[in-house]
Structures are given as C-alpha cells and as structure tokens.
A and B are shown apart, each in its own frame.
Chain A
Amino acid sequence: MPKLTIDDREIEVPSGLTVLQACELAGVEIPRFCYHERLSVAGNCRMCLVEMERAPKPIASCAMPVGEGMVIKTDTPTVHKARKGVMEFLLINHPLDCPICDQGGECDLQDQAMAFGFDRGRYAENKRAVKEKFMGPLIKTIMTRCIQCTRCVRFSTEIAGVEEIGLVNRGEHAEITTLEKAVDSELSGNLVDVCPVGALTSKPYAFTARPWELRKTNSVDVMDAVGSNIRVDTRGREVMRVQPRLHEDINEEWISDKTRHACDGLGRQRIDQPYVRRDGKLVPASWEEAFGAIASKMDGLAGEKMAAIAGDLCDAESMFALKQMMNGLGSENLDCRQDGAKLDASTRAAYIFNSSIAGIEAADAVLLVGTNPRWEAPLINARLRKRFLASGLKIGMIGPQVDLTYQVEYLGAGGETLKDVAEGRSSFSDILKNAERPMIIVGMGALARTDGGAVLALARKLADEFGMVSDDWNGFNVLHTAASRVGGLDLGFLPGEGGRDLESILDGAGKGEIELVYLLGADEIGMNNLGKAFVVYQGHHGDAGAHRADVVLPGAAYTEKNATYVNTEGRVQLGRLAGFPPGDAREDWTIIRALSAQVGEGLPYDNLGQLRQKLIEAHAVFAAIDQVQPGSWTDFGAAGDLEAAPFASPVANFYMTDPISRASDTMAKCTEAFVLGKQEGATGTDG
C-alpha cells in the first residue's frame, strides 16, 4: 500500500491505482474528459493535469500509477494555469452552441468550462467543422462538438465488443466515425452516456426536453430479467427517457438499448379505459360495467373452470393479489410461466441465477445451455465478456450459434450435446472438471420445451458432478427472460393441488373445460388456443391479449406503479411510480382488489403497505430488498428423455419482446436496422 501526499495530506491507497483515483479517495476532485473508470486509460484529453514533486512539468494524473512517497499538488497556480490552457485548447474547435445542444445542462464540458475556463475566447480564426456521421437509429451525431476523447471507441471495443467505431485521420483532421454503419450493439445507447460532450446524443430524445425540466424517479427495469437499475425521467406524466443508475452487482452503469429506448412505447397503444365485448366488438365501458360483466360470468362458475395466467411484466403485488383471489374462488389453475418453461419451484436454487451476476467475475469456466445471452440479457453478456477479457474465461455453448462478442467454444445444438458434456464425452467436460469455479447457465431455450424438466434435471446432475456447487459457490444458474418470472415462482403463482398448468389450461379452454381465463398482462400465449373461453385481460397495452379479450381492464405499466420485481438472481427490487397511468387505468393490484370485492372474495388489504405485509408474511423472501436469498440445493427437475430438437433462443428479435417494446417506434426502427436488414443478407448472428 503506497503512501502518498495529496495537497499536504498523507493518504495510503492500494497499489495499482492511478494518481487520479488516489485523489478521488482523498476527496479531491480532478476534472477529466477521456478518463472513465470502466474503460482503459487513454490519457489524451490532458484535463486531469496535476503537479507532482520532482517532475519537470504537470503530469496526467489518470495515466500515472501511484508510487511510494509521491507528493501531489492539485491546487497550485501551475495546475490552474495548465487546466485553463487545456480547456482553452479544447474550446478552440468546440462550437458555442450550448443553447441548441441536447447535452446542455448535463454536459461535462459545459460544467468544467464554468469551473476552469476563461470567460472569453482568444481564438479568432475559423473553427473546424466536421461532417455528421451515421450511427444508426439510436445515436445522433454532431461531430463538430467532438473533443476526441475516444471514450466511445473504447466503450464499443471493450464493453460492447463491437469494433465498429474508430478514430480516423490524424491531428486536426482526426474524426470519430463508424464508416456509415449503424453501431450493431445492444448496448449502443450507453455511447451517449459516455460521451462527455454533445457529439453523440440520443436520436429518439433529440430536442424533446432539458434535464432541469424532468422529474427523476429511481426505479428498476422490466424489459428483461436482469432488473437493471434505472432512472425514469418524466415531464408531466410522460416518460421522456430512461437513464441507467449505478448498481455494481447488476448493471454496473450500463443499460441495454431496449431498457433505454423502448419507453416511447409507453405512450402508444395504451389501454386507458375498460372495454367490454358486445356483439363481437370491444366497446368502451365504465369500471362498473366491466366488473359487472366479469362478476356475472363468475357467478356460479366452479373454481376449476377458471384459470389465470400471468405475463412477463407483472409485479409481485398484482400476482399475489390475483393468486389470493383465484384461490379464494376455488381455482388452483394458475401459471406464471406463459412460455411453458418447465421450471421447478420446489426450491429457490432451481430457478434463480445462483452465482449472482457479479459472481460471473469469479467464474473460470461457463457452459451456456439453450440461451443467447446477448439478446436475452445484454448486461449479463457484458459481464461474461468482461470476465473473458480479464481472465480468458472458457465458455462452451450448447444451443443457437450466435456471435456473443467473445470467444466461445461451440459444442452443439441440443440435448444430445448436453448429455455428452454431462457424461464426460465432450472436450469441454475436462475444462469444467479442471475449473475451480465452473458455472452453467441454462436459458429458457432449453427449459421452455416439453422435455424441459428432463433438461433441468440433467443440468442439475451436471452441476453436481462437475463440482459446481460447494459451500461458498453455486454455479447453477437459470437465465430468465421475463422480469416477472422469479417473483411469480417465489410467491407460487403456479398450479396448486390438482391445478392445471399453462398447457393444460390452454387445452382445457380449447375443450370448453375452462370457461374463464384471467390474463394478467399475458400476451405471448397462443390466443387461438383459448377456444370459447371468456377472457379477461388486465394490462396496459392493446396487444394480443387485449385483442382476444372479452373484458379489458386498464392497468399500469412499470413506470406507473410502486411495485416489487425479482430479477433472475432472485434479488428483490422496488420499482417506483414515475407518472400516473393514463385515463381510467389504475395500479394493477387495486384493480384486483376492487374486482375481488365485486365477486364476493374481498381481499384483506386496502393499501399497498398492507398488501406487502401480507406478501411478506406468506413469502419471506420479499422482505429482503436488494438482497439475494439463496435456496437449498435439493433435487429438482423431472425424469424423462431428451428430445433431439435443437435448443432455440426464445428471443427471436431483441428489440421486440413485450407489449411495450412492440408498441415502440424506436424499437421498430431498430428491428428494421439490426434484425430485418440482416435477414435479407442472410449474414450476421445466424452464423
């Protein structure tokens, strides 16, 4: 631990840090543009100059490793003069267009020019102008504003793993460019965040709002099962944008493009009042009429003739309330696995990402089974890539053959290969055997099939045999694709005693054995299979479920309610209300609470606090916010033979997986640019 003096104060810091990091630890703020703590050091902006004793000139603190006995001064006339000079140089070619720049108000250059700049320019010559570049449907470029910090180049190369952005030419002619290609990464939205100036800005958000007009609400994301921490920026009740929020154990400081840009879908295709089907057409109705229609259908209907299916975006509270109401009505036909995944809820360890996302950084071998993490959970993929770059993590893959942005040993497509690995016949078996912390990640592509239970059992056996589970390490991981899934499994939104599961519900509905199906935001089931059943759809978007429904109840989207979600790790997180739901729409649990009174099964809570109290009483895991409760390692899965069909990823199009992203204009543009564009050329991720 080197000891150094920073501004006359002695401080001991871990070796390997840079002077800039040591200064931060000492509480001294150093201005910077090119330095970013998660990217490699470039040292090209020179803003972080400090004085070091016995050095002939100021040093770039971001690129200088700490040494024993260093004496650093950050507040001397020399330092101030150096920073002023650097700032003046940076501003030579930077346009003074802050009033029309989207970065205005949250711009590093603007802020630091206030702190370190001159109050007037001395540069009378023409500034250089740089042509705009095309970077795809998400990123708008105004390259004249670029200060060549190369953060975007380093982000795309190191974190996103797509080497498509580069700094070309030299000197005064240096430019950032992609050679007119869209940045083909699921994390490209973060380029806007790493850019310290207004050169890369968000295209969908262009000229819509100023940061000081927005109300910021800390929440969590539901576009995938990662549960990225987000900040929802609203103006009035409209969500203007979604920004990432730091959570080292989940998303670090990145979010995926769907998380960030699907928010325009929150303003389209919304259900803002109840509807009831009359003469084959959905007509607007009042809440009383809608509830009345449901109550009259339920009246006298036996419990086993009713069923409920929860979708991918549901919060735990509404699922809990619906479960209690259905159980109260005598129905055990519940399922939260709308993709038909053969998940086993007997123990928590069977369905969560046991090693935790941050735990990936301890792993030394990973077997991916039936998953395309790049599309199912881009931030988990980014962690895998981070570990791969740091330590050469060995990764084997069974399932779809896709480019994951890191080196993968492709083993095979289906269950046959998994068996080979499990029984030691594959080359990868040795790698797993010799690894200290091996890990298996089982995706829904392997579980959402008729033989899913057998795959789960085989994966469990494999985890046992290759020493993936020990006292301080559990490398058995299930990667979910839906934000609601783990929560649903935790609170047992599953077939009860003698109850039907999804397949059986659909089968029963087709045969007329199930007469009422309650869809809680479930849009991805085969609606044609529902037969003549009376369908109640509660949700926020006019998607497949609402089209089929006989009664539509307008619910709230994830930005419009205070709600609990559990991510794929089993981490309980709170989403917060950022803006009220549109029109007559209400928070989902309140709808179920009101309906329950109408159908004679009044639920015993009148506010969210009471509901949460009941939820925690019934399922203690929900009490530990932001913590992961491990499950016990018991037997799970089902016996059976594996089928020959290859594992396919459940995500066919990253940009459109749920009602919100399907309603989003931005996601449609991304689909066109990154998914459809490639299919025509028959190249890209299909290998």
Chain B
Amino acid sequence: MKVTSYAQGSAEGFSFTPENLEIANKFVARYPEGRQASAVIALLDLAQRQSDGWLPGAAIEYVANFLEIAPMRAFEVASFYTMFNLKPVGKHFIQVCRTTPCWLRGSDGLSEACKKKLGVKFGEVTEDGLFSVIEVECLGACANAPMVQINDDYYEDLTPERMAEMIDDLRAGRELPVGSQIGRLTSSPEGGPQTLQDLPPFDGKAVKMAPEPGSAEVAPSGEEG
C-alpha cells in the first residue's frame, strides 16, 4: 500500500539575490501586463538554483508573492513538475535514467553502483551533503544509453565501473568530461563513422563552390547544446 502526502518546505526566509532579482524581472517582462503569473516556472527554477537545487516552502511562497499569485497556485506547479525538488538534494544530484533503452543497456547496474558507492538509498542525501541519487524516466539520450544526468549535464555510455570512478572524481573535486564517456562525438557510431566511408568528404568541388584557398576552415561542430 502506498501512502502519499505533501512534503512541507522549511520555514526559513528566502529572497532573490540582487543578480537573480534582475534575471527574474527579465523573465517577468517577457509576458504581457497582467500575465506575470506565466513566469512561474522560470522563477521557480531560478529559486531552485539559488537554494542549492531544491525548493523550500519559503522559496515557493516568495515566488508566489513575487508574481502576486496565491501560494497554492505556485505549490501546484512546483509539485507537478518532477524537475522541481521539494526535498533537499546533494551538491551533485545524480539522476539515473531507467527507461527501457537505458534499462536494456544496464541502468540497473548504474543504480546499484551509485547506491553501493554512496551508501544511500534513492532520494537520500549522503552525510557530507555531496551526493544524492534518484531514478528518473527517459532523459532523451537513448542512443547513448545507459546514461545519467548530474546537475545540468549528461554523462553517457556508462558502465558501473565508470560510474564509480566519476563519483570518486566528483568527490575529489576533479572536472568530468561531459557527454559520452567512451569518446564518441554526440551519438555518432562508436569508433568513428561506419557508413559513407567510400565517398570523399564533401569539399564543394562537385557543386563548384570550393572555398578560396587560404580561407579559414569550417570549425568542427562542438558538443551538442
């Protein structure tokens, strides 16, 4: 039997920092006069970023008052969207994708690795406050399954071993390479291109638009946004 109830936030005061206040006003200005309430999601996100990755009750009420809507309306939004955390999370908030593609590619192993390495259950924060881990549904990086999201970045093509290493690196304060952990570019095939290899690379000759000799080469495309 499942018992669900709404978690109350803390009662500490909350207000936007001056920088965030400026950003918040920009968000509000995007909407027509009298429709400020539309900025509620953007402002809740801003508040969540300011208060260590989660939304205390005071922050939700602050946002509601900021937009002149009833606190309950902001609570409804904050509780509806799963990316708003209503309970404290770790500094490194690990979300393990467990939807079918990732699961078939071994997401269970990643979850186990996280839990074992950190000694916490899903939803719990480690004692040092550095980590918390939850399972989430599809994060949309199925071609690079299995994957996790840590704070705002994706880490793909993982193995349980790599997951444990990453946790060690984060704990030691080392920077992690974002994206595929086996070196492939976005979701291109592992080990480089496997099709169309017999064609010469497109250089424009066929359509007579070759670049002038000496002009700058086109920069290779970077990491996907």
Interface set of A (CB-CB < 8 Å, partner B): 126-131, 163-170, 173, 175, 177-180
Contact = CB atoms under 8 A, between A and B. Distances in A.
Given A175-B6, A177-B6, A180-B8, A166 B1 contact: no
B215 interface: no
Contacts of B6: 168-169, 175, 177, 179
Contact of B70 (A128, A163, A167, A169): A163
A131 B5 CA distance: 6
Contacts of B8: 179-180
A178 B2 CA distance: 21
Interface stretch (B14-22, B40-48, B71-79, B93-101): B71-79
B72 A130 contact: no
A166 B4 contact: no
Interface string B56-95: 0000000000000111110110011010000000000000
Contacts of A173: 4
B2 A168 contact: no
Given A126-B2, A163-B69, 8 more contacts: A128-B2, A129-B3, A129-B4, A166-B75, A167-B76, A168-B75, A177-B6, A179-B6
Contacts of B1: 126-129
A168 B76 contact: yes
Nearest to B64: A163
Which 8 A-B pairs have CB atoms at the shortest separation, nearest pair first?
A: A163-B70, A166-B72, A131-B5, A168-B79, A166-B76, A169-B79, A170-B80, A173-B4
A124 to B, nearest CB: 14
Contacts, number: 52
Instruction: Find the residue from B8, B72, B76 having the highest chain A CB count within 10 A.
Output: B72
B72 A131 contact: no
A166 B80 CA distance: 11
A180 B71 CA distance: 13
10 contacts: A128-B1, A128-B4, A165-B72, A168-B6, A168-B76, A168-B79, A169-B79, A175-B6, A178-B72, A179-B6
A169 B5 CA distance: 9
A179 B72 contact: yes
B106 to A, nearest CB: 27
Contacts of A131: 3-5
A129 B72 contact: no
Contacts of A175: 4-6
B5 A130 contact: yes
Contacts of A179: 6, 8, 71-72, 75
A144 to B, nearest CB: 10
Contacts of A128: 1-2, 4
Given A168-B79, A170-B79, A180-B8, A130 B73 contact: no
Report the contact-size class of chain B (Cβ under 8 Å from the partner): 10 to 19
Interface of B: 1-6, 8, 69-73, 75-76, 79-80, 82
A173 B80 CA distance: 10
A183 to B, nearest CB: 11
A127 B82 CA distance: 23
A170 B3 CA distance: 14
A258 B199 CA distance: 85
Contacts of B3: 129-131
Contacts of B82: 170
B72 A169 contact: no
Contacts of B69: 163
A277 B69 CA distance: 60
A606 B39 CA distance: 72
A126 B4 CA distance: 14
Nearest to A162: B70
Nearest to A170: B80
Contact of A164 (B2, B4, B72): B72
B73 A169 contact: no
A168 B34 CA distance: 24
B75 to A, nearest CB: 6
B54 to A, nearest CB: 16
A411 B169 CA distance: 65
A166 B2 contact: no
A465 to B, nearest CB: 34
Nearest to A180: B8
Contacts of A169: 4, 6, 79-80
A163 B73 contact: yes
A130 B1 CA distance: 10
A177 B80 CA distance: 13
A426 B54 CA distance: 49
B157 to A, nearest CB: 31
Instruction: Find the residue from B2, B6, B69 having the highest chain A CB count within 10 A.
Output: B6
A128 B3 CA distance: 7
Nearest to B70: A163
Instruction: Find the residue from A126, A131, A168, A170 having the highest chain B CB count within 10 A.
Output: A168
A167 B8 CA distance: 15
B139 to A, nearest CB: 18
Contact of A129 (B2, B70, B76, B79): B2
A163 B72 contact: yes
Contacts of A180: 8
B71 to A, nearest CB: 8
A131 to B, nearest CB: 4
A168 B1 CA distance: 20
A143 to B, nearest CB: 9
A177 B1 CA distance: 20
A611 B75 CA distance: 60
